[in-house]
Structures are given as structure tokens and as C-alpha cells.
């Protein structure tokens, strides 16, 4: 099993550009989520999905879109990049939703720099 | 709302020293508590967890006990190694919630 994979590893964008961060898992997990990691703030939830076709907003959803057409994939779209979106982005997955004490499996992260 | 507070870092220790990283929480209901570890350049991975009061989670020599009376989940290890150098995150989830709530993270550096 590859676990949770993310691409790209590193990306530089100019303000106003759009891009998609890819996330895939091969563990047949129903629950997937996106977090951003910023210094001194831990990780904050952006969006999550409890299954194919179902998504919902997390703590910091503004400026990001998601969709979940398959169980395996959960891409994160930045619509118009802003310097405030400079961060490290982590995708995570689990068998069921985080609130049930499930272990979350994290990808290696995507480091994004917006100029 | 739910929150997690970790001791301020960074923490620097010599090899074989005793480690404590404090974690306290605020949550409604009965949360599950976690410690995740992030090694340099990698994603987070679960270190240990506890899902009810008085449970002790343990892994790789690390331990933490779920103390409901003090709303704490302190991480301890009796003898740290250089390979334990990493960032440690305390986190919680609640039965009605859909996410992990993380503390700020504590950077641990262990010197030989």
C-alpha cells in the first residue's frame, strides 16, 4: 500500500493564479480531509469528505474548493492564490470520521509559496 | 469551542534524558486524545491515543494518560534518543465532531 500520496511536493505560485493539489489514498477510506499547517498554529481543517460525492467545510475554507468523485481521490483547488495561502498542506484519511477516535493517516505534504 | 494547549517549545534535551511535554484540553463531551509526531520533511503519524478517561496510550517508549479531572494528556518518555527529534502535536476529536483539533506543536531536539 502506498498509503496517502500528495502531489506536488513543492509549488510556487503568483498571486491570482489557480492550481490543484492532488491527494489519493489506496486504503479504501471513506473519510478524507485537508489541513493547512502554519507556524505556531498547529494544523487547521480546510475541507473534509465523509464519502464520494459528499464534502463539507472545515475551520478555514475560504479560497479553497474540493470535490470527491471517487473514494480514492480528494483534490484541493485554490481558486485565486493569495500570499496568505502560503503554507504546508496535508491530506489525511481514515476509515470513518475523525470524531469517532479514528486514527488519521497523513500524506507527506505539499509546500506552497504564493508570491 | 474545542481547544488544545501544549507547552511552549522548543525543547532541547540530551540523549537519555527524561521527557515531558504538557498538553491540556477544553472540549464538550468525552473527547478522544492523540499524540501525533512529525519527523523532519514528513507528514504526521500517530504516536499514541486514548479514547476514554484513565486510559494510557503507549508506543515506542512514549506514554500518555487521559486525565479527565485535570483535562490533561501529558506525553512522557523515560530516556529519549537522537532519533526522537521531531515535532509533537497533541490533538483531540469529539464524538459529534468531524475533525481533529490540534495544539500548536512542540519541537523536540535531542543532542548526543
- Confidence tier at A2 by pLDDT (50, 70, 90): confident
Count of residues in chain B: 112
- Confidence grade of residue B30 (pLDDT, cut at 50, 70, 90): confident
CB atoms within 10 A of CB B16: 11
Least confident residue range of A20-34, A73-87, B70-84, B85-99: B85-99
pLDDT, position A41: 82
Name, of A35-44, B28-37, B71-80, B100-109, the range with top average pLDDT: B71-80
**Residues of chain A with C-beta less than 8 angstroms from the C-beta of B45:** 105-106
B/e letters for A44-75, b = 16+ CB within 10 Å, e = fewer, are bbbbbbbebeebeebebbeebebebeebbebb
Residue entry with cell 481533529: B100
Give strand pairing partners of A6.
A23
Task: Give B 45-84 residues with CB within 8 A of chain A.
Answer: 45-46, 49, 51
Amino acid at each position: 500500500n502506498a498509503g496517502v500520496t500528495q502531489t506536488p511536493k513543492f509549488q510556487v505560485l503568483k498571486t491570482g493564479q489557480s492550481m490543484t493539489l492532488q491527494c489519493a489514498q489506496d486504503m479504501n477510506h471513506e473519510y478524507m480531509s485537508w489541513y493547512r499547517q502554519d507556524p505556531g498554529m498547529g494544523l487547521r481543517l480546510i475541507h473534509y469528505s465523509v464519502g464520494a460525492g459528499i464534502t463539507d467545510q472545515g475551520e478555514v475554507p475560504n479560497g479553497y474548493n474540493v470535490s470527491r468523485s471517487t473514494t480514492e481521490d480528494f483534490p484541493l483547488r485554490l481558486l485565486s492564490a493569495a500570499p496568505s495561502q502560503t503554507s504546508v498542506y496535508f491530506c489525511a484519511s481514515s476509515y470513518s470520521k475523525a470524531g469517532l477516535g479514528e486514527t488519521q493517516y497523513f500524506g507527506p505534504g505539499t509546500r506552497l509559496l504564493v508570491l | 469551542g474545542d481547544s488544545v494547549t501544549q507547552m511552549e517549545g522548543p525543547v532541547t534535551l540530551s540523549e537519555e534524558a527524561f521527557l515531558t511535554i504538557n498538553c491540556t484540553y477544553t472540549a464538550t463531551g468525552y473527547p478522544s486524545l492523540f499524540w501525533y509526531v512529525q519527523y523532519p520533511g514528513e507528514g504526521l503519524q500517530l504516536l499514541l491515543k486514548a479514547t476514554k478517561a484513565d486510559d494510557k496510550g503507549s508506543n515506542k517508549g512514549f506514554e500518555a494518560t487521559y486525565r479527565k479531572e485535570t483535562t490533561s494528556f501529558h506525553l512522557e518518555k523515560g530516556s529519549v534518543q537522537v532519533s526522537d527529534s521531531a515535532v509533537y502535536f497533541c490533538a483531540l476529536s469529539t464524538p459529534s465532531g468531524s475533525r481533529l483539533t490540534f495544539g500548536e506543536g512542540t519541537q523536540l531536539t535531542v543532542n548526543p
